[in-house]
């Protein structure tokens, strides 16, 4: 693969500004980058948040495809843009408080690692950027719904 400017940008973004190359917990670090992004979006309102989320999702699918091809293996751990977008989905319409951020973070990491049905099946069957990102989209949705359910119960 050539290392032209668009592919360098894609790899930079797909790896979360290269934090995906961390030898320790790159997915968790990617999720933490999602926390930072959510902090900056927390005062933007749902429409702007949704627009940024959609743009981020679109960019993540493209960058994950490019980075996967560059790294030469299916769903390499260095790609963390999926965790970033997944956490953003998990936090959608959730007030940004320390309690909420921690609980949603733990729920997201739980669902992202455990991959309950149908997340694991989707992760195994889909290819390229869409497959890399979509399982984290589902983990984010599961986290958001679970968090909402918990908050209604307490």
Domain that holds residue 85: 5-153
Average pLDDT over residues 78-103: 98
For the stretch 94-145, pLDDT in tens is 999 999 999 999 999 999 999 998 888 887 888 789 999 999 999 999 999 9
Whether omega before 118 lies within 30 degrees of 0, making that bond cis, reads: yes
Contact 134, 67 (CB under 8 A): no
Q: What percent of the chain has pLDDT over 90?
A: 83
Residues with Cβ within 8 Å of 99's Cβ and at least 6 positions away in sequence, in order, are: none
Give the rounded distance of the alpha carbon of 107 from its chain centre: 13
State the sign of the Cα–Cα–Cα–Cα dihedral 105, 46, 60, 132: positive
Higher pLDDT, 110 or 1: 110
> How many structural domains are present in the chain?
1
Is pLDDT at 41 greater than 60 in this prediction? yes
* Confidence category of residue 2, pLDDT binned at 50, 70, 90: low
Q: Is the pTM of this model over 0.85?
A: yes
């Amino acid at each position: 693969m050539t290392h032209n400017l668009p592919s360098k940008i894609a790899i930079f973004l797909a790896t979360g500004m290269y934090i995906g190359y961390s030898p320790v917990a790159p997915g968790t670090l990617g999720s933490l980058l999602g926390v930072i992004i959510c902090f900056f979006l927390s005062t933007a309102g749902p429409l702007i948040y949704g627009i940024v989320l959609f743009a981020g999702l679109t960019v993540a699918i493209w960058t994950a495809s490019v980075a996967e091809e560059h790294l030469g293996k299916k769903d390499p751990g260095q790609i963390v843009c999926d965790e970033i977008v997944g956490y953003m989905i998990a936090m959608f319409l959730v007030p940004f408080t320390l309690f909420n951020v921690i609980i949603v973070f733990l729920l997201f990491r739980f669902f992202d690692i455990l991959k309950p049905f149908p997340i694991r099946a989707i992760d195994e069957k889909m290819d390229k950027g869409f497959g890399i990102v979509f399982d984290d989209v589902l983990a984010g949705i599961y986290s958001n719904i679970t968090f909402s359910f918990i908050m209604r119960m307490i």
